[in-house]
Amino acid sequence: MALPFTRWPDEFARRYREKGYWQDLPLTDILTRHAHSDATAVIDGDRTYSYRQVNQLSDNLACSLQTLGIKRGETALVQLGNVAEFYITFFALLKIGVAPVNALFSHQRNELNAYATQLKPVLLIADREHSLFASDDFVTTFVAEHDTVRVVLLRGDRGEHALDAAIDRPAENVITTPTPADEVAFFQLSGGSTGTPKLIPRTHNDYYYSIVRSNEVCGFTADTRYLCALPAAHNYPMSSPGALGVFLAQGCVVLAADPSATLCFPLIEKHRINVTALVPPAVSLWLQAIQEWSSNASLASLRLLQVGGARLSTTLAARIPAEMGCQLQQVFGMAEGLVNYTRLDDPIERIIHTQGRPMCPDDEVWVADENGNPLPAGQVGRLMTRGPYTFRGYFNSPEHNASAFDEHGFYSSGDLIAIDEQGYITVQGREKDQINRGGEKIAAEEIENLLLRHEAVIHAALVSMEDSLLGEKSCAWLVTKTPLRAVAVRRFLREQGVAEFKLPDRVECLEALPLTPVGKVDKKQLRQWLAQRTPA
Ligand code: J2J
């Protein structure tokens, strides 16, 4: 049975096909088209995989999963870091028509439970190297809490849960049966602004197109040597054009566990990397490293640096070509769909000062005022969009969808933007209740709900505060029965099983939260207080 999701209306689907955006090919085609190629697809530490091998290994895993009784139309929860198995698993699942949600490696108990509750997966694939899976305790409770889970495979396990064995076992008669191209291929994660993290259904057709078009805009070819240093599961290094773009072009993906300069610079030099993608804080650290080492020599092969995920300051942007000796491309995208790029042949001013323009001619993007009316060029308002690769609804979230979309199917991303006469976008701020901590998104409500579980907490509000490196950090404002120290608050949240990046960087207690005239917590006031009182 097909997974439920909100489809594009027929007239849109017809148009997207007519224009050649939707090709009715499964995402697995990105790999299988190179099934007989001995070109290097992935380098992960000292392990090197050709396209032929990645395809064979994903066939093996697909076959093992079928033997274990996993069936087309079912779903999986996957948590793998920046390792070759991430891609092998992704393609294996798609080959047998199983839709995964790829949790970030930084996610903990709370996030995994939230995804499993929504998706009801039959399969869990994770890593013994993750603290949650070092012993069997979490697996045991997880399987007990989520009774749909029938199979658990763990990378690095030597026993009954061995993922490695399932990948190594030679496949016999794999019959690949991806879901139809206009159905859900997998679920992307939303940065979120609500209490529970939302899942974004992505179809083969829409995601494949976003990759094809990204490759055209970014000039990815078989010569592309891409360093994936951001979390592999994130939409940006996966599809903008990311690793999947590289695979489509038959280039080479080199994996790095994190974007630190000490790890990445030697990899760039060793593997002659010519393109990579970063978030702004990593750019700061790379520039700092170049200064400290008085050299950018190890970056000699690097031609293009993509920066996105959070606002890049013009000062930092201007330093990239000068100090790194490569071209900059700004990327303003979202897991929900729409991706904007500055173009490779744009004048430098535009590359430094804007977040690019939509990649597809049929991306419809406009700016709305508070009443939902369109604003003229240059004015700041809410980003509204729809198009051939922008989703039409979160998974199983009718209530939230009712407010996230207008009646014509335009998605409101919660970003405040301006569009200039040439169609270029600048991101000016945000309306959604989210903190963007150097590209890592924190839904305020999710953390506030967890804080309220503490017996001493009466009211809680999480707001952003400016930070010179990360752009934003988070501050929890609390009204408490008894005094609470920041360490205790963070310890409590950690015990609740929440990802480390979501822990408040600062905690402030006060008598009462300031309220707006309609009685909502006045977060603007709280942010202002922080701006005045920083640094603590
Ligand atoms: C300011 N804010 C930005 C930018 C994203 C490519 C690149 C990034 C993402 C991503 C992605 C920004 N300047 N350049 O999926 O394919 C903020 C906006 C946006 C939100 C989306 C991709 N680039 N943002 O970051 O789903 O607020 O996707 O709505 O994680 O990040 O976050 P996410």
Q: Distance between CA 83 and CA 258 in Å, rounded? A: 11
Give yes or no: residues 92 and 114 share one domain.
yes
Give yes or no: residues 238 and 299 share one domain.
yes
Q: Is 268 within the bounds of a domain?
A: yes
Mean pLDDT confidence for 231-260: 98
Looking at the CA of residue 307, tell me the nearest atom of ligand 1: 14
Final residue of a structural domain among 382, 409, 430: 430
Which CATH number does the domain housing residue 173 bear? 3.40.50.980
Q: Is 441 in the pocket of ligand 1 (CB under 6 A)?
A: yes
Give yes or no: residues 414 and 294 share one domain.
yes
Question: Residue 535, preceding bond cis, omega within 30 degrees?
Answer: yes
Ligand 1 centroid–CA 512 distance in Å is: 34
Q: Is 14 helix (H, G, I), strand (E, B) or coil?
A: helix
- Check if the beta carbon of residue 209 is closer than 8 Å to that of residue 388: yes
DSSP state of 405: B
Q: What is the pLDDT of residues 466-493, one digit of tens each?
A: 999 999 999 999 999 999 999 999 999 9
Ligand 1 centroid–CA 331 distance in Å is: 8
Q: How confident is the model at residue 82 (pLDDT cuts 50, 70, 90)?
A: very high
Q: Is 276 helix (H, G, I), strand (E, B) or coil?
A: strand
Mean pLDDT confidence for 42-71: 98
Q: What is the pLDDT of residues 201-223, one digit of tens each?
A: 999 999 999 999 999 999 999 99
Mean pLDDT confidence for 422-451: 97
Q: Distance between CA 461 and CA 453 in Å, rounded? A: 13
Ligand 1 centroid–CA 146 distance in Å is: 31
DSSP 378-398: T--EEEEEE-TTS-S--TT-H
Q: Is 340 in the pocket of ligand 1 (CB under 6 A)?
A: no
Q: How confident is the model at residue 503 (pLDDT cuts 50, 70, 90)?
A: very high
Ligand 1 centroid–CA 130 distance in Å is: 26
Q: Is 15 within the bounds of a domain?
A: no
**How much is the pLDDT for 193?**
86
Final residue of a structural domain among 395, 412, 430: 430
Q: What is the pLDDT of residues 165-179, one digit of tens each?
A: 999 999 987 889 999
Does residue 320 register a pLDDT over 90? Answer: yes
CB atoms within 10 A of CB 455: 8
Does residue 534 register a pLDDT over 60? Answer: no
Please write down the long-range contacts of 146-149, taking CB distance under 8 Å and 24 or more positions apart.
146/113, 146/116, 146/117, 146/120, 146/121, 148/120, 148/121, 148/122, 149/116, 149/121, 149/122, 149/123, 149/124
Q: Is 242 in the pocket of ligand 1 (CB under 6 A)?
A: no
Does residue 147 register a pLDDT over 60? Answer: yes
Q: Is 109 within the bounds of a domain?
A: yes
Q: Is 334 in the pocket of ligand 1 (CB under 6 A)?
A: yes
Cα 442–Cα 281–Cα 110 angle in degrees, nearest 5: 25
Q: Which residue has the higher pLDDT, 193 or 377?
A: 377
By alpha-carbon position, which residue is closest to atom 16 of ligand 1?
Answer: 236
Looking at the CA of residue 239, tell me the nearest atom of ligand 1: 16
Q: Is 415 in the pocket of ligand 1 (CB under 6 A)?
A: yes
Q: Distance between CA 222 and CA 22 in Å, rounded? A: 23
Q: Is 39 within the bounds of a domain?
A: no
Average pLDDT, the chain: 97
Give yes or no: residues 172 and 243 share one domain.
no
Give yes or no: residues 313 and 252 share one domain.
yes
Q: Distance between CA 213 and CA 389 in Å, rounded? A: 10
Tokens 């509750």 belong to which residue?
Answer: 117
Q: How confident is the model at residue 196 (pLDDT cuts 50, 70, 90)?
A: confident
Give yes or no: residues 156 and 219 share one domain.
no
Give yes or no: residues 357 and 492 share one domain.
no
- Per cent of the chain over pLDDT 70 is 99
Element (H, E) at 281: helix 280-292
Q: Is 87 within the bounds of a domain?
A: yes
**How much is the pLDDT for 536?**
42
- Per cent of the chain over pLDDT 90 is 97
Q: What is the pLDDT of residues 522-531, one digit of tens each?
A: 999 999 999 9
Q: Distance between CA 276 and CA 308 in Å, rounded? A: 11
Q: Which residues contact 318 (CB under 8 A, 6 or more apart)?
A: 352
Final residue of a structural domain among 120, 155, 177: 177
Q: How confident is the model at residue 535 (pLDDT cuts 50, 70, 90)?
A: very low
Instruction: Please list, residue by residue across 126-141, b when 16 or more beta carbons sit within 10 angstroms of its beta carbon and e when fewer do.
Output: bbbebebbeeeebbee
Q: Is 23 within the bounds of a domain?
A: no
Compute the chain's Rg from CA coordinates.
Answer: 23
Ligand 1 centroid–CA 333 distance in Å is: 4
The phi, psi pair for 269, rounded to 5°, reads: -65, -50
Structural domain containing residue 118? 28-33+48-177
Give yes or no: residues 350 and 406 share one domain.
yes
Give yes or no: residues 308 and 368 share one domain.
yes
By alpha-carbon position, which residue is closest to atom 3 of ligand 1?
Answer: 310
Give yes or no: residues 499 and 390 share one domain.
no
Ligand 1 centroid–CA 152 distance in Å is: 32
By alpha-carbon position, which residue is closest to atom 30 of ligand 1?
Answer: 191
Give yes or no: residues 219 and 341 share one domain.
yes
Quote the distance between the C-alpha of residue 79 and its chain's center.
13
Q: Is 6 within the bounds of a domain?
A: no
DSSP 449-466: HHHTTSTTEEEEEEEEEE
Which CATH number does the domain housing residue 283 bear? 3.40.50.12780
Q: Is 131 helix (H, G, I), strand (E, B) or coil?
A: helix
Which CATH number does the domain housing residue 485 bear? 3.30.300.30
Does residue 278 register a pLDDT over 80? Answer: yes
Q: Is 80 within the bounds of a domain?
A: yes
CB atoms within 10 A of CB 467: 15
> What is the tally of structural domains in the chain?
3
Query: Which residue stretches of 9-108 are H helix?
Result: 10-18, 29-32, 51-67, 84-95
Q: Is 204 in the pocket of ligand 1 (CB under 6 A)?
A: no
Three-state secondary structure readout of 305-370: EEEECCCCCHHHHHHHHHHHCCEEEEEEEECCEEEEECCCCCCHHHHHHCCCEECCCCCEEEEECC
Does residue 411 register a pLDDT over 60? Answer: yes
**How much is the pLDDT for 95?**
98
Ligand 1 centroid–CA 436 distance in Å is: 9
Give yes or no: residues 457 and 422 share one domain.
no
